């Protein structure tokens, strides 16, 4: 149930949240803006590493004994490329806009356009206003698919909503709680600030209205409408609440798959209604561990459905690391990607590999009960793999 209306006086949130944002958005820009991103550069050593045969077919994925292959999978993780911090762009005067000490990779970082804000008094001020800790994520075909971002803070909430509007994002996927209590800790730690209203609020000069909220097991989905001047933008906010930091949501794998299917359905809906559908924003707290593990799973499912003879987790994560510094932090997260892809393969209809390969699967919905993950020898082996991965994480 959505909480009661919370009123706010009609003023800029800069006074309340300390943001540096002051927006003047030109609605015409939303009709003509295009994004130019250069393909991610690879050095020779990394290219040779990527060419090593690590690809799986759908059949091999189905029958992969992850528990027996765990040391090999961890070895893969250890050999992933780790870009130097020199690839990150430290923007002067913007450290307070970082939740942690990590900076985004300069080549792919999101820049908030000066077309959408008032003129600045200096070049330095303009550069700082354009900064947000987020990176564009391209797939293996250099198609813009996602933005990996930090969880918003009080002084970056306005920036975050500007990014949603600027990029015409069809969906936001949140894979963190607002606060989380680490194992052994006495007090919870702040992971992300609540950046959406209960009903309606003004963030900078963007009106944000929550139209509806639906609750499922471990998932909340909000239909949100943004308004600025004559511009109206609809976005779905998908909050997966069962993925705690440095843990694996192994009991909610089917829910993760449902989130991905729902996310893609919103992307397709935007593409039908508009000539342009922007990238989906995914964030946790730092925007590198859970965020990039989720993105790698989604990209892997796309491979599973479109090119079932060429499923390559190593290559996918390697590309992610060249676009978002520190992507997929832990070996357990890397192995979890295999586990979730294997689960998706088992849930896909058998005929799907031969037909409709241009479409993302729509075989899961939140209205359906999760399929049983036990009941035969094959599923028992899968459950044993889940237990082993948890014990080794």
Is 245 annotated as contributing to ligand binding?
yes
Is 292 annotated as contributing to ligand binding?
no
Q: Token pair 């330095």 is at which residue?
A: 124
Please tell me the distance from the alpha carbon of residue 299 to that of residue 352, in angstroms, as a whole number.
Answer: 17
Is 114 annotated as contributing to ligand binding?
no
Is 285 annotated as contributing to ligand binding?
yes
Is 129 annotated as contributing to ligand binding?
no
Residues 93/143, Cβ–Cβ less than 8 Å: no
Residues 213/238, Cβ–Cβ less than 8 Å: no
Residues 158/22, Cβ–Cβ less than 8 Å: no
Is 329 annotated as contributing to ligand binding?
yes
Is 287 annotated as contributing to ligand binding?
yes
Please tell me the distance from the alpha carbon of residue 14 to that of residue 158, in angstroms, as a whole number.
Answer: 8
The reply to whether 284 belongs to the active site is yes
Is 296 annotated as contributing to ligand binding?
no
SS (H, E, C) the chain: CCCCCCCCCCCCCHHHHCCCCCECCCCCHHHHCCCCCCCCCCCHHHHHHHCCCCCECHHHHHCCCCCCCHHHHHHHHHCCCCCCHHHECCCCCCHHHCCCCCCCEHHHEEECCHHHECCCCCHHHHHHHCEEEEEEEECCCCCEEEEEECCCCCCCHHHHHHHHHHHCCCEEEECCCCEECCCCCCCCEECCCCCCCCCEEEECCEEEEEEEEEEECCEEEEEEEEEECCEEEEEEEEEECCCCCCCCCHHHHHHHHHHHHHHHHHHHHHHHHCCCCCCEEEECCCCCCHHHHHHHHHHHHHHHHHCCCCECHHHHHHHHHCCCCCCCCCHHHHHHHHHHHHHHHHHCCHHHHHCCCCCCCCCCCCCCCCCCCCCCHHHHHHHHHHHHHHHHC
Phi, psi of 219 (to 5 degrees): -140, 140
Catalytic residue selected from 192, 284, 292, 305? 284
Is 284 annotated as contributing to ligand binding?
yes
Please tell me the distance from the alpha carbon of residue 341 to that of residue 301, in angstroms, as a whole number.
Answer: 6
Q: Which residues contribute to the annotated binding site? A: 245, 284-290, 329
Question: Which residues are annotated as catalytic?
Answer: 284
């Amino acid at each position: 149930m959505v909480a009661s209306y919370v009123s706010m006086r009609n003023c800029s949130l800069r006074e309340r949240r300390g943001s540096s944002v002051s927006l003047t958005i030109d609605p015409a820009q939303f009709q003509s803006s295009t994004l130019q991103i250069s393909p991610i550069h690879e050095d020779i050593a990394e290219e040779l590493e990527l060419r090593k045969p690590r690809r799986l077919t759908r059949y091999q994925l189905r029958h992969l004994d992850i528990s027996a292959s765990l040391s090999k999978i961890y070895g893969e993780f250890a050999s992933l490329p780790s870009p130097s911090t020199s690839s990150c762009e430290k923007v002067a005067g913007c450290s307070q806009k970082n939740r942690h000490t990590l900076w985004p990779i300069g080549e792919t970082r999101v820049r908030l356009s000066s077309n959408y804000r008032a003129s600045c008094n200096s070049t330095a001020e303009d550069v700082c206003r354009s900064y947000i800790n987020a990176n564009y994520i391209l797939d293996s075909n250099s198609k813009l698919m996602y933005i990996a971002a930090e969880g918003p803070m009080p002084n970056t909430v306005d920036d975050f909503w500007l990014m949603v509007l600027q990029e015409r994002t069809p969906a936001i996927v949140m894979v963190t709680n607002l606060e989380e209590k680490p194992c052994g800790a006495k007090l919870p730690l702040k992971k992300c600030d609540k950046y959406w209203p209960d009903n309606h609020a003004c963030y900078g000069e963007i009106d944000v209205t929550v139209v509806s909220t639906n609750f499922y097991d471990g998932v909340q989905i909000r239909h949100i409408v943004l308004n600025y001047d004559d511009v109206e933008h609809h976005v779905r906010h998908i909050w997966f609440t069962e993925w705690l930091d440095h843990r694996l949501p192994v009991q909610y794998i089917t829910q993760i798959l449902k989130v991905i299917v729902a996310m893609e359905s919103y992307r397709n809906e935007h593409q039908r209604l508009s000539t342009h559908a922007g990238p989906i924003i995914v964030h946790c707290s730092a925007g590198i561990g859970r965020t990039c593990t989720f993105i790698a799973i989604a990209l892997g499912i796309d491979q599973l459905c479109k090119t079932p003879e060429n499923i390559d987790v190593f290559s996918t994560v390697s590309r992610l690391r060249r676009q978002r510094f520190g992507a997929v932090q832990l070996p357990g997260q890397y192995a979890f990607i295999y586990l979730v892809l294997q689960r998706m393969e088992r849930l896909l209809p058998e005929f799907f590999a031969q037909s409709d390969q241009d479409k993302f699967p729509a075989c899961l919905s939140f209205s359906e009960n999760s399929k049983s993950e036990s009941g035969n020898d094959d599923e028992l082996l899968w459950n044993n793999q889940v237990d082993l991965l948890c014990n080794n994480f």
